Chain A
Amino acid sequence: MTGVAPVVRLSGDVARQFAHLPVEQAVEAVATHLSRFWEPRMLRDLVSRVQADEPGIDPLVGRTVRERLAADPGPTDRRA
């Protein structure tokens, strides 16, 4: 685990839980989770690492970030 940035490891943990879903749903699930529970600086950190194509990033995380989080960090009201 050494050498991997915490946001890369933690986002991978989230993505693995949804990897069984069809990819559209998986992206939705990961995006919802990250925007409900992650502090903005962590999201920014993750976005910049994805944009820099850092190694070790879960492909589902990469896709979620590019499709859903890079521009808009999420909907404003994120109740359950």
Chain B
Amino acid sequence: MILAPEPDLGTPAVPGDPTLSVTVDGQPVHVAPGTSVLRAAGLAGVPIPRLCATDSLAAFGSCRLCLVEIDGVKGTPASCTTPCVDGMSVATRTPQVDALRRGVMELYLSDHPQDCPGCARGSCEVQRLAAEVGVAEVRYGLGGASHVDDAGDQTNPYFAYDPAACIVCSRCVRACGEVQGTFALTVAGRGFDSRITPGGTNFLSSECVSCGACVQACPTSALEEKAVIELGMPTRAVVTTCAYCGVGCSFRAEVQGEGADTQVVRMVPWKEGRANEGHSCVKGRFAFGYAAHPDRQRHPMVRDRIDEPWRRVSWDEAIARVAAGFRDIQARHGVGAIGGISSSRCTNEDVYVVQKMVRAAFGNNNIDTCARVCHSPTGYGLNQAFGTSAGTQDFESADHADVFLVIGANPTDAHPVFGSRLKRRVRAGAQLIVADPRRIDLVRSAHVEAAYHLPVRPGTNVAFVNALAHVVVTEGLIDRAFLAARCENVEPYLQFIAGPEHSPEATEQITGIPASDVRAAARLYAAGPASAIYYGLGVTEHSQGSTMVMGMANLAMLCGMLGRPGVGVNPLRGQNNVQGSCDMGSFPHELPGYRHVSIPEVRHLYEDLWGVTLQAEPGLRIPNMFDSAISGSFRGLFVQGEDIAQSDPNTQHVHAALEAMELVVVQDLFLNETARFAHVFLPGTTFLEKDGTFTNAERRLGRVRPVFPSVVGKDEWQVACEIATAMGYPMSYAHPREIMAEIAATTPTFAGVSLDRLDAQGSMQWPVRDDSSMGTPIMHVDEFVRGRGKLTETVYVPTTERTTRRFPLILTTGRILSQYNVGAQTRRTPNSTWHPADVLEIHASDAEVRGVHSGDVVELTSRVGSTTLRAVISERMPPGVVYTTFHHPVTGANVVTTDNSDWATNCPEYKVTAVQVTVATALEHTRGVEARAAAVVAP
């Protein structure tokens, strides 16, 4: 059995009402103006054969197979490039059309290998289509004499290029351009010599980013997943949600086999998925192999001391050990001496149950989540300004933006599918302003160029956003009507921001951005008509992260850029379920739905349901847990799916805190860095085993469906329930469906959500206030959640982390396309082909004065620690700033980052560390041609 692909209507849907009435082979159909005859025929249930057309790409009209006859029209036009006209009558199977189509198909067959393995497998359409159109003989010979012996290209780890099967339909070339926006493919040569090529080199050395759009678009087996070649075609598909970044792409997991014998063949982005609309990146499509990696832990383990070897035990023994250990600590050191950390990689259902375990069974509010170290300032800032801790728009809104202001985000690497959407809109004419210390790809890459790149000095974001607001206010560009009708604290704020200290000229020395550029960018943003802010961790991970979030909210309110399509203030969330883990009550001061623990009626709601008394005081945040561990009042920690020992700042401090604790319980897929300090290890499940929901950056609840059963015998939520039960607080659910029902029953913003509704009606964006609501794509349309939007005087307070003569450079950190965060998953896949090690990017002048050459191993030293890694001289960097990623534990980027944190949320200031860089003298002899050659592959 071969799995049917998703239906393909040949050309993209056209927005609009179906006002045209057309008949195709006698079948009536109604379509929107602009719809192609090919698509109308598909909608009428009369599919027309074609090879070069697919509904993810604009019509191209090259394969000449989709010819039709139309009443009153001369000849046989190609249906893909012919738009429907009202009253049109189309015939797809006349003797003339059939004969022409057979003739065309005969030519294709003459140029196609007779023994095409793809045709045999079912992944190549040519021979199947030839049979369908009734080709009986080929008068021109068979076998593709011109190219059947061409060398293939196996350099990409995930897909192969076999020119023998290629029909040069250009679907791959167009997908790379139109869908992905990389333009890495082309047709070289002409006529019989035409070949698809990634720019005259091989795939691995080319501009290709391995998103796989070309593979998906290919109608033959010329571009095909190696897994399909190796394993054959999948037989079954499960639609689920990706577990990498916060875009939350929908995929069809295409598999062979059933139950525990299930083998994932490939992930195919789902066209119906509203977040990604059929597109993917190299991580989501290809980097799922970690789920079956030999490093994967499958059994619970315990040990008495962290210098002892692990001992495999049963689940029952492990859970009893956890429960007894935690209760014992509480008996000796108080109820507040233990806590838990939930994971933004887990489902909403997992997270809800973990916070319930902490609040109800542990009996305290010491629950935090890894969102602490990424987007907690988003939660604080947007809640202060708008009354809800989430982005304002859906992703589709970007298709209506006229101006993008991208601040501290690198979407083409960290949120690639959204990056492709953004680039598509920019190619269509939208203007782009990029505020980032580095020259990221969005600043300038093929066919996309930012109107302004504002290289803001790390740590000075608030001065920068205030300067933008100052220009808007003092030049009279504000939306007075919006401010009057929708906002509060307007006059005090206007007075504050008009102060001369906020002018671009006054802040130029602080931010390093020329005043004229700030003024021009502010005018562009204010002019809109639809201007949208997108931001990432370059905003939040600062000592004034929360202030900056409020500063951006101020700017959007000043210009009336809220509550309609194409505008808004939008966080690009780092992890698949950052939004959800925050929504589910993972912060120590908030119950689910962002309701403060001090509010009696909310507490009572849960107290009645859970049958316990809840603490009315906030609990400890992650860094507070570490501090309290070192001072002795916090002694037991349950940490799920976050490698705090690698990802949290000031590694020595984190290690000291973990070593100080009596009982550290780690639940993870792998024995991560944190597990080195653990006494109990509980194996976890991958997204391929999970059942529940993830919530992406646009508040969309996407269904996560198990592709195969848990390989460790339990789900995360079950483990949390069993720990709570063993601690004397019985907790159980029969299915994640029941957990979501409890969430919906207790949280007004989720009242209309259920797994059954998500299964039947598709993804929904919260708030979903009742069973009839399909959710809220755009928030704050008529009024803000808090009533009036609040303008806040955002005073710029410089970070205490300053450069000095000893530490003259600023280190900032980020991600790269092929790797993901601490790399626990992606390092265990062939994605490491592209990024085998972290490197330090440094500006040529900073390198020169230090005698650093590309490829040298350098020592990177801050006030708190030092590490070594290879340097690469990079044109992306401004002078005075160096950059690295933190995907590999050996890099130890967080050995050098400090305890500094956002004043409001304690989100670490990863983006600003004063450092010095020196050539590691002991490795001087490595300098030379070889080392430099090795470094050329780095960005």
Contact = CB atoms under 8 A, between A and B. Distances in A.
Q: Do chains A and B touch in the complex (CB under 8 A)?
A: yes
Interface of A: 1, 6-7, 9-10, 13-14, 16-17, 19-20, 33, 36-42, 45, 73, 75-80
Given A13-B543, A39-B588, A41-B628, A33 B619 contact: no
Contacts of A1: 800, 863, 898-900
Contacts of B906: 10
Interface string B585-607: 00011000001101110000000
B797 interface: yes
Interface string B885-927: 0000000000000111101111000000000000000000000
B627 A6 contact: yes
Contacts of A19: 797
Main secondary structure of the interface of B (DSSP, over half): loop
A19 B798 CA distance: 13
B348 interface: no
Contact of B903 (A14, A36, A40, A73): A14
B303 to A, nearest CB: 29
B786 interface: yes
Interface string B839-870: 00000000000000000000000010000000
B898 A16 contact: no
Given A76-B600, A78-B598, A79-B599, A37 B383 contact: no
Contacts of B621: 39
A16 B619 contact: no
Contacts of B336: 39, 41
Nearest to B544: A17
A17 B795 contact: yes
Contacts of B616: 76
Query: Which among A13, A14, A33, A75 has the highest number of chain B CB atoms within 10 Å?
Result: A13
Nearest to A16: B797
B384 A13 contact: no
Main secondary structure of the interface of A (DSSP, over half): helix
B512 interface: no
15 contacts: A13-B903, A17-B544, A17-B903, A19-B797, A37-B589, A39-B365, A39-B619, A41-B628, A76-B600, A77-B596, A77-B599, A78-B596, A79-B596, A79-B598, A80-B383
A76 B628 contact: no
A37 B900 CA distance: 17
Nearest to A20: B795
Given A1-B898, A20-B795, A37 B599 contact: no
B598 A80 contact: no
Contacts of A16: 797, 903
B618 A36 contact: yes
Interface in B366-425: 366, 383-384, 387
A9 B543 CA distance: 12
Contacts of B365: 39
B624 interface: yes
Nearest to A74: B598
Contacts of A73: 617
Nearest to B594: A80
- Give 6 nearest A-B pairs by CB, closest first: A6-B627, A13-B903, A78-B598, A39-B620, A79-B596, A20-B795
B617 A40 contact: yes
Contacts of B202: none
Contacts of A6: 623-624, 627, 899
B547 interface: yes
B732 interface: no
A14 B904 contact: yes
Given A76-B600, A79-B596, A17 B618 contact: no
Given A17-B797, A37-B589, A39-B619, A80 B596 contact: yes
Given A13-B903, A14-B903, A33-B904, A39 B598 contact: no
Interface of B: 336, 365-366, 383-384, 387, 543-544, 547, 588-589, 595-596, 598-600, 616-621, 623-624, 627-628, 631, 633, 786, 793, 795, 797, 800, 863, 898-901, 903-906
A50 to B, nearest CB: 17
A38 B906 CA distance: 11
A3 B547 CA distance: 27
A9 B899 CA distance: 10
Contacts of A20: 793, 795
A53 B633 CA distance: 23
Contacts of B543: 13
A64 B800 CA distance: 22
Given A1-B898, A13-B903, A16-B903, 15 more contacts: A6-B627, A14-B903, A16-B797, A17-B547, A17-B903, A36-B589, A37-B589, A39-B617, A39-B618, A45-B631, A79-B595, A79-B596, A79-B599, A80-B383, A80-B384
Nearest to A40: B617
Contacts of B619: 39
B69 to A, nearest CB: 67
A77 B384 CA distance: 17
B628 A37 contact: no
Query: Which among A10, A20, A73, A75 has the highest number of chain B CB atoms within 10 Å?
Result: A10
A38 B631 CA distance: 16
Nearest to A15: B903
Nearest to B905: A37
Contacts of A40: 617
A75 B619 CA distance: 16
Contacts of A38: 618
A78 B797 CA distance: 26
Query: Which among A1, A19, A20 has the highest number of chain B CB atoms within 10 Å?
Result: A1
A75 B598 CA distance: 9
A7 B905 CA distance: 14
A1 B904 CA distance: 19
Given A38-B618, A39-B618, A76-B616, A13 B600 contact: no
Contacts of A10: 901, 906
A60 to B, nearest CB: 13
A41 to B, nearest CB: 6
Contacts of A7: 627
A77 B600 contact: yes
Contacts of A75: 598
Given A14-B903, A39-B588, A77 B797 contact: no
A23 B617 CA distance: 26
Nearest to A6: B627
Contacts of B905: 37
A33 to B, nearest CB: 7
A37 B906 CA distance: 10
Contacts of B631: 45
Query: Which among B547, B633, B905 has the highest number of chain A CB atoms within 10 Å?
Result: B633
A77 B595 CA distance: 11
A42 B366 CA distance: 13
A8 to B, nearest CB: 11
Contacts of A33: 904
A77 B795 contact: no
Given A14-B903, A39-B618, A76 B797 contact: no
Contacts of A37: 589, 618, 904-905
